[in-house]
Structure 1
Amino acid sequence: MLYTVSETLLSLCINSLSARYTNLTKCKMGKISFKPRTNTNGTIGVSINYSHKAHIDKVPFQKKVSGVTIAPNEFNKTTGRVINRKDAGELNKLIQALLSDVEYCLAECERNGVEPFKRNLDTEYEKLQHLKTLAPAAKKILGRTLDMLRSELAELEKQVTLKKLEIEQEEKDQGVHVSKLFTSHIDSFLKENTTLKPSSIKNYTSLKSIIENWKPTLNITDINKTLLNNFREYLTTNKDTRVIDHEAMSIEKEINPEFNDIIYIKGMRNSSVRELLQKMKIVYYFYADKFGYDISSVKKWKSGLKKVQNDKVVFLSKDELEAVTHMPTETDQELIHRDFYVFMANTGLRFVDALKVRKHHIQEIDGGLKIKILQEKTTKMVEVPVTADALRVLEFHNYNFAFDKETGTGIKYTAQVGYFMNKMMKRADIGCYTLIRTNFKNNVGKEDNTKLKRELILSHTARKTFINKSLNDGMKITAIKNIVGHSELDMIMNVYGDGSLNTDEMSKAGWVMPTESSTSKMKIA
């Protein structure tokens, strides 16, 4: 059967472009379905069927999707999509392409005024396949309209870019140019907001660094829902982290025994992504009024990332804390890092606050010794009863854990706490067992069993140890709310009480408090 390139063919080509997006619900004369075909080796192929509602054809119109061979559990028959495979996207494109061809044939039957019986669909399908294999001139006709539109769009975009550069240069010449780079706005935001906490400044600085790697030319005027979706996708799937992907490295070593590179996990966790997206929106809102940006669509945008916690809060058990308190040390640095961890685990103070404690912070309040200090994160004053172990290590280190340049000893970084604790715990055989955790990225939970518990004992776990030991041993949850904050308590349990925080409450929870003799010997500053 021969066909010539004519006005009719050109019309057919143009119709094919529009007909490819016919909705399945428009197939009024019958039904399109996806049919798995079982192969002899247990795999399945996929066919697309069309059954006319009159059921005249004994065998329905059926076409096989080329290049799709999968396991039975990797296909959703209802949606017609491949699932649970890394190459699902590419395979689904093949299925969608054939589906578009079938829809095109149905549309041609309707356009020609014939019923979409199998024989008519076979004819239209043959025409379509012949059209696809025509000479380059005919193929050019098939794609000419779309190519022409794309070419016109590219030219218009080029003109817009040139016009923007022209305006920017004119602004510079007149001395009125304001950089629209989003990273420049972050710098300005930090300069104008001088009361930000160090942790917030760190987050904004991190956001700037990530944008410089992702899209350095990003303008603040480019912020919209589409861009936020793209940025979220980058953060959750492509952003490099500092966490080693042991599973991927094992697979690579099996394939190539000489492989010795380090592979890092890609994609940040939900909590980190939510924080960065929030910071981006804050900067955008801050300058919206000044420059007249329309923030209505951005305000309605939601990240879609659930606020979920890892299901394992890492902390030392009561027995493990006791063992850590007395585990042997070999150097002065090991000694001070062990004692500093014990101090944090006995007070619940954050790293930054515990490091600032000096003798004048120890005061006698309501008949007992307490640390009275202004918390850096919350900017609230807190009073923490001093346990016997906390007082012992404070006195031993002369009420100062900070790094001393002259002696080269002391606490300097949070990471050093984890390093020395892991080293000492390994030697003392404490926490040398696998701790399985579930991490959440992009709303998907994944079990992680690659680390021993001792490898997860970082500085902040001392705070978790204090919370969990106190709660498990009977201290009222509200009695420690002013130390750890509501959000962290809600993560563990929801209990209410009178909120008193005193020596009696600490004793009830199993903390050993200083004796009257040791308290009286100490001169309060």
Structure 2
Amino acid sequence: MGKITFKPRNNANGTLGVSVNHSHKAQLDPVPFQRKVSGVTVLPTEINLATGRIIERKDAASLNEKVQRVLSDVEYCIAKCKEKGVEPFKKHLDAEWETLQHLRAIRETTVPQARNILGRIVDVLYVELAELREKVRQKEIEIEIEEEKLGINTNKLFTTHIDLFLKENKILKKNSIKNYTGLRDAVKEWKPTLNITDINKKTLNDFRDWLTTEKKILSRNGNPLKDDDGNPILGLRNSSVRELLQKMKIVYYAFADKFGYDISTVKKWKSGLKKLANDKVVFLSKEELQAVTNMEYETDQERIHKDFYVFMANTGLRFIDAVRVRKHHLEMIDGTLKIKILQQKTTKPVEIPLTADALRALESHNYNFEFSEEAGKGIKYTAQVGYYMNRMMERANICNYKLVRTNFKNNIAKEDGSKMKRELILSHTARKTFINVSLKSGMDITAIRKIVGHSELNMIMEYYGDGSLNTEEMGKAGWEMPNHTVVGTVTGTMKIA
């Protein structure tokens, strides 16, 4: 049928003008299909005549694109001739070439116009949408009026009462607010028409069963998590279900006096779900903590997060308290340097003897771990502690082994060994590390309670005699204590026995 070749034209200055030429072995016309100029000019050494590719030039890519564009147009015209059943002679190819250029010119002028028209259509649609929303609002008002006539009060929706509860309780902590909003979203998904007057034992049972068997588990971006077969993962863990059910009862109790609800049956209701969410408490052993203390870092952010974790693991402070510690919180009490701080969660003061590692961490960051906008570094979020710790521990090969944990869904125990222990090291595991290292080393349980202010240790304390906070107990647990002459200055270290 013919062939396409690249035939350069010799210019007066010694350069070549690259063009695309088509020849046909059955050409009947005295004049062959003329060359199509690409507009590209090169030196003879800068083109491969066999392929038509420009070589050894910085702008070779853009020049080859120009040549390729002309080549594609020629091939398009040849294909159109074949579609129409005619030979790709000059007159036929010329006709297709003119048609192609004409269509291209029309497209260049009409596409912007079409976009402009579509833009105006979208604007009109938005206006119509606003009008429809207004009609919906008016219709909702009409429905409310009719419902009031029938004795139906939309203000009794349970989700409405959750919002009212949040509005009236301004002192709720972030985690509590998150749990209540999670309850609201779950109720909307389960039964959006649920009224607060519908709360009873049956409702609680039905909601519990739905949460443990049918509720889709969502990822952080709101998409359902899926198993290996691509099916959505259903059913919350016992701990999460218990939390939501407890919050549902609290909201119901909050409005019981106001509206005269009978809470007796709801109050007696029990979920029947095991309290145990996981039988494996995640914390570092004493050896692992020492390895973390000595592990290397690569950035300033890694350094401060590592030191902050070590500080928390040596003091048992919660994140919210540890990040607030400053030099004025350090006091010499009975010859021992201690942190004296008022806990945010319990509003109770604690006195914590400073270990050598805790003091070194504080001093190396000028007694301030908190994030500084000016410096662009510091501790800002609890999640970042886990992120940086996991990254450093992976490099140092610390806790780089699978940790099998047991979770309960609908009282069915399931083992989960999919995560490395280092992936489970969060800011709060530092507090657990302090408690467990101290317990395993024989430190008196009541001394631990006074240091960490942990109310959950009350049950364990019943099996121990009365204890007191003292430096001897810290030393007994093997914590390395500094020897001080001036607050904030380490002159030597020793173990208190």
| TM, length-normalised to structure 1 | 0.61
Pairing partner for 1:463 from 424, 427, 431: 431
Whole-angstrom distance in 2 between the partners of 1:235 and 1:491: 30
Q: CA RMSD in A?
A: 2.9
Pairing partner for 2:292 from 324, 330, 346: 324
- Letter paired with 2:323: L
Whole-angstrom distance in 2 between the partners of 1:351 and 1:486: 14
SS for the counterpart of 1:514 is: strand
SS for the counterpart of 1:474 is: coil
Whole-angstrom distance in 2 between the partners of 1:491 and 1:272: 23
After superposing the two structures, state which structure 1 stretch, 317-326 or 399-408, moved more.
Answer: 399-408
Q: Per the alignment, do residues 296 and 490 of structure 1 end up closer, same or farther by CA in structure 2, a change over 3 Å counting? A: closer
Residue 272 (structure 1) aligns with: 240
Residues 481, 499 of structure 1: 8 Å contact kept: no
Residue 264 (structure 2) aligns with: 296
In the alignment, structure 1 residue 441 sits paired with structure 2 residue 409? yes
Q: Per the alignment, do residues 512 and 495 of structure 1 end up closer, same or farther by CA in structure 2, a change over 3 Å counting? A: farther
Residues 449, 455 of structure 2: 8 Å contact kept: no
The 5 A counterparts of 1:29-178 are 166-168=146-148
Whole-angstrom distance in 1 between the partners of 2:197 and 2:171: 26
Q: What does the per-residue CA deviation read over 1:151-193, in whole Å, with 9 as the maximum and x for residues that have no partner?
A: xxxxxxxxxxx99872436889xxxx77112122122222323
Q: Per the alignment, do residues 210 and 465 of structure 1 end up closer, same or farther by CA in structure 2, a change over 3 Å counting? A: same
Q: Per the alignment, do residues 205 and 168 of structure 1 end up closer, same or farther by CA in structure 2, a change over 3 Å counting? A: same
In the alignment, structure 1 residue 360 sits paired with structure 2 residue 328? yes
SS for the counterpart of 1:303 is: coil
Pairing partner for 1:478 from 442, 446, 451: 446
In the alignment, structure 1 residue 512 sits paired with structure 2 residue 488? no
- Letter paired with 2:156: K
Q: What does the per-residue CA deviation read over 1:57-83, in whole Å, with 9 as the maximum and x for residues that have no partner?
A: xxxxxxxxxxxxxxxxxxxxxxxxxxx
Q: Per the alignment, do residues 465 and 520 of structure 1 end up closer, same or farther by CA in structure 2, a change over 3 Å counting? A: closer
**Alignment length (residue pairs):** 346
SS for the counterpart of 2:313 is: helix
Residues 243, 265 of structure 1: 8 Å contact kept: no
Q: How far off its partner does 1:200 sit? A: 2.8
SS for the counterpart of 1:240 is: coil
Residues 243, 264 of structure 1: 8 Å contact kept: no
SS for the counterpart of 1:342 is: helix
In the alignment, structure 1 residue 193 sits paired with structure 2 residue 169? yes
Q: How far off its partner does 1:267 sit? A: 2.1
Residue 241 (structure 1) aligns with: 217
In the alignment, structure 1 residue 387 sits paired with structure 2 residue 363? no
In the TM superposition, structure 1's runs of 4+ consecutive aligned residues that sit over 6 Å from their partners are 162-165, 169-172, 490-494
Residue 74 (structure 1) aligns with: none
In the alignment, structure 1 residue 226 sits paired with structure 2 residue 202? yes
Residues 414, 458 of structure 1: 8 Å contact kept: yes
Unaligned runs of 5+ in 2: 1-141, 491-497
The 5 A counterparts of 1:421-432 are 421-432=389-400
Residue 450 (structure 1) aligns with: 418
Q: Per the alignment, do residues 365 and 266 of structure 1 end up closer, same or farther by CA in structure 2, a change over 3 Å counting? A: farther
- Identity over aligned residues, as a percent? 68
Q: Per the alignment, do residues 332 and 241 of structure 1 end up closer, same or farther by CA in structure 2, a change over 3 Å counting? A: farther
Q: Per the alignment, do residues 220 and 396 of structure 1 end up closer, same or farther by CA in structure 2, a change over 3 Å counting? A: same
Pairing partner for 1:305 from 273, 283, 289: 273
Q: Per the alignment, do residues 226 and 321 of structure 1 end up closer, same or farther by CA in structure 2, a change over 3 Å counting? A: same
- Letter paired with 2:472: D
Whole-angstrom distance in 1 between the partners of 2:315 and 2:168: 36
In the alignment, structure 1 residue 216 sits paired with structure 2 residue 195? no
SS for the counterpart of 2:217 is: strand
Residue 203 (structure 1) aligns with: 179
In the alignment, structure 1 residue 335 sits paired with structure 2 residue 303? yes
Q: How far off its partner does 1:297 sit? A: 2.9
Residues 212, 409 of structure 2: 8 Å contact kept: yes
- Letter paired with 2:343: Q
Q: What does the per-residue CA deviation read over 1:256-307, in whole Å, with 9 as the maximum and x for residues that have no partner?
A: xxxxx7x764322222221221111111112122122233332232211122
Pairing partner for 2:255 from 254, 263, 287: 287
Unaligned runs of 5+ in 1: 1-161, 253-260
SS for the counterpart of 1:372 is: strand
Q: How far off its partner does 1:242 sit? A: 5.0
Residues 341, 462 of structure 1: 8 Å contact kept: yes
Residue 180 (structure 1) aligns with: 156
- Letter paired with 2:172: L
SS for the counterpart of 2:367 is: coil
Q: Per the alignment, do residues 376 and 239 of structure 1 end up closer, same or farther by CA in structure 2, a change over 3 Å counting? A: farther
- Letter paired with 1:216: P
Residues 476, 495 of structure 1: 8 Å contact kept: no
Residues 236, 441 of structure 1: 8 Å contact kept: yes
| TM, length-normalised to structure 2 | 0.64
Residues 330, 487 of structure 2: 8 Å contact kept: no
The 5 A counterparts of 1:344-423 are 344-423=312-391
Q: What does the per-residue CA deviation read over 1:475-496, in whole Å, with 9 as the maximum and x for residues that have no partner?
A: 1011011344555436888741
Residues 237, 277 of structure 2: 8 Å contact kept: no
- Letter paired with 1:512: E
- Letter paired with 1:435: L
Q: Per the alignment, do residues 248 and 279 of structure 1 end up closer, same or farther by CA in structure 2, a change over 3 Å counting? A: closer
Q: Per the alignment, do residues 485 and 359 of structure 1 end up closer, same or farther by CA in structure 2, a change over 3 Å counting? A: closer
Q: How far off its partner does 1:511 sit? A: 0.7
Whole-angstrom distance in 1 between the partners of 2:150 and 2:226: 52
